[in-house]
């Protein structure tokens, strides 16, 4: 679990945080916080929800009740709101089911000996087993993602966070917006994760072809947002100002860097070598470049000028695409 939010709290706020965790763990409410300002309680409550995806049964809302003497608040209680009309009686059984699923996925991930393969397994498991459904019940939480297999970005991110925490990684929840979506649907959520000494961003949702195109298919999933840096993230995402994210500057475990599918400078011979390695296993290849300018030059020479057809394994007809960041080019045999 990430302790970044907790470490920023005052002594009083930490007491509220701990009381929330203890009460929610035992399904106990309402919470009594005396004359504590409601804004403080709301702030801490939202941090608890971000840090603890296991509390899937909470909607994020709640009700305050005040006892006043004139204009002075003498006492205040806060009652959390359950998500999607879920009954308190069902919470324990659902929690056991979710925890069992998280443990089972984590146990499968532990079979991989290195960080990259372990985290990639979880990323791909969520993409392969989850449908992006905008109006599905429980869509905003890990239960919807891992048990119902239907979720939106918040559900994907909380599921990834929960499994990573089970595996012992510091992994947090990030809120912001997607620059490539309309203002109506721009609100977005993803994760940060610490691997060894460095932090990275991971956006599982944006690597799911269902979320991106509305069309399912294992062969269409991408790894464009697997362990990316904040400079790359800034090309497509904006982080909410109140979000307590660490500086994410890692590059070692980026999918393309780790697999040697990344080029700082364009060289046809280097692209050819990368393409041939991938074409042996599939009818497509993907290369990531350091800047948009380098990627644009590669696209012109490969596709516009036709040099891609001289690569062994490339068919007479192709389709191609460029990622939202403008850094990644994919070429497929038609």
Residue 290 neighbours by CB under 8 Å, 6+ apart: 262, 263, 264, 265, 327
Which three-class secondary structure state does DSSP give residue 67?
strand
Longest pairwise C-alpha distance within the chain: 83
Strands laid side by side in the 198-202 sheet: 198-202, 187-195, 171-178, 237-239
The yes-or-no verdict on residue 44 having pLDDT over 90 is yes
Rounded Cα gap, residues 42 and 24, in angstroms: 15
The yes-or-no verdict on residue 185 having pLDDT over 80 is no
- Residue 210: predicted pLDDT: 73
- Residue 86: predicted pLDDT: 82
Beta bridge partners of 171: 193
Q: SS in 3 state form for 101-165?
A: HHHHHHHHHCCCCCHHHHHHHHHHHHHHHCEECCCCCCCCCHHHHHCCCEECHHHHHHHHHHHHH
Average pLDDT, the chain: 92
pLDDT in tens, 265-291: 999 999 999 999 999 888 999 999 999
- Residue 218: predicted pLDDT: 46
Mean pLDDT over residues 29-44, rounded?
A: 91
- Asked whether the beta carbons of 118 and 167 are under 8 A apart, the reply is yes
Rounded Cα gap, residues 161 and 123, in angstroms: 11
With tokens 């890990």, the residue in question is 142
Q: Characterize the bridge pairing of strands 150-151 and 131-132.
A: parallel
Count other C-beta atoms under 10 Å from residue 225's C-beta: 26
For domain 88-257, the question of CATH label 3.10.620.30 is answered with yes
With tokens 């007809």, the residue in question is 317
Beta strands in 140-229 (DSSP E): 150-151, 171-178, 187-195, 198-202
For domain 4-85, the question of CATH label 1.20.5 is answered with no
What's the pTM value of the predicted model, to 2 decimals?
0.93
- Residue 215: predicted pLDDT: 53
Element (H, E) at 152: none
Rounded Cα gap, residues 79 and 266, in angstroms: 58
Element (H, E) at 287: strand 284-289
Mean pLDDT over residues 111-135, rounded?
A: 96
- Residue 181: predicted pLDDT: 63
- Residue 214: predicted pLDDT: 52
The yes-or-no verdict on residue 224 having pLDDT over 50 is yes
pLDDT in tens, 231-269: 999 999 999 998 989 999 999 999 999 999 999 999 999
Confidence of residue 28 (pLDDT cuts 50, 70, 90): confident
What DSSP state is assigned to residue 249?
Answer: -
The yes-or-no verdict on residue 12 having pLDDT over 50 is yes
pLDDT in tens, 59-101: 888 889 888 766 666 788 999 988 877 887 899 999 999 999 9
Which three-class secondary structure state does DSSP give residue 321?
strand
């Amino acid at each position: 679990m990430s302790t970044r939010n907790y470490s920023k709290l005052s002594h009083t706020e930490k007491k509220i945080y701990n009381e929330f965790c203890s009460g929610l763990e035992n399904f106990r409410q309402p919470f009594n916080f005396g004359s504590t300002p409601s804004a403080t309680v709301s702030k801490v409550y939202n941090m608890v929800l971000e840090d603890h995806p296991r509390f899937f049964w909470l909607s994020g809302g709640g009700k305050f009740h005040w006892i006043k003497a004139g204009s002075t608040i003498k006492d205040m209680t806060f009652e959390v709101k359950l998500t999607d009309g879920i009954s308190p009686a069902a919470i324990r059984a659902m929690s056991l089911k979710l925890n069992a699923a998280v443990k089972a996925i984590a146990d499968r991930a532990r079979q991989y000996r290195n960080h990259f393969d372990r985290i990639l397994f979880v990323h791909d498991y969520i993409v392969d087993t989850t449908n992006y459904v905008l109006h599905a019940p429980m869509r905003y939480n890990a239960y919807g993602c891992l048990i119902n297999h239907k979720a939106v970005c918040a559900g994907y991110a909380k599921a990834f966070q929960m499994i990573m925490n089970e595996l012992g990684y510091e992994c947090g929840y990030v809120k912001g917006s997607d620059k490539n979506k309309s203002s109506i649907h721009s609100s977005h959520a993803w994760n940060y994760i610490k691997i060894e000494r460095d932090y990275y961003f991971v956006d599982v949702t944006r690597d799911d072809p269902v979320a991106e195109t509305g069309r399912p298919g294992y062969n269409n999933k991408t790894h464009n947002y697997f362990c990316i840096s904040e400079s790359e993230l800034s090309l497509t995402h904006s982080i909410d100002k109140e979000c307590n994210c660490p500086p994410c500057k890692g590059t070692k475990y980026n999918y393309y860097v780790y697999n040697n599918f990344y080029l700082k400078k364009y060289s046809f011979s280097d692209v050819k070598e990368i393409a041939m390695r991938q074409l042996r296993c599939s009818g497509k290849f993907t290369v990531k470049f350091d800047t948009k300018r380098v990627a644009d030059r590669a696209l012109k020479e490969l596709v516009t000028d036709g040099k891609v057809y001289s690569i062994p394994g490339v068919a007479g007809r192709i389709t191609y695409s460029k990622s939202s960041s403008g850094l990644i080019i994919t070429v497929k045999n038609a």
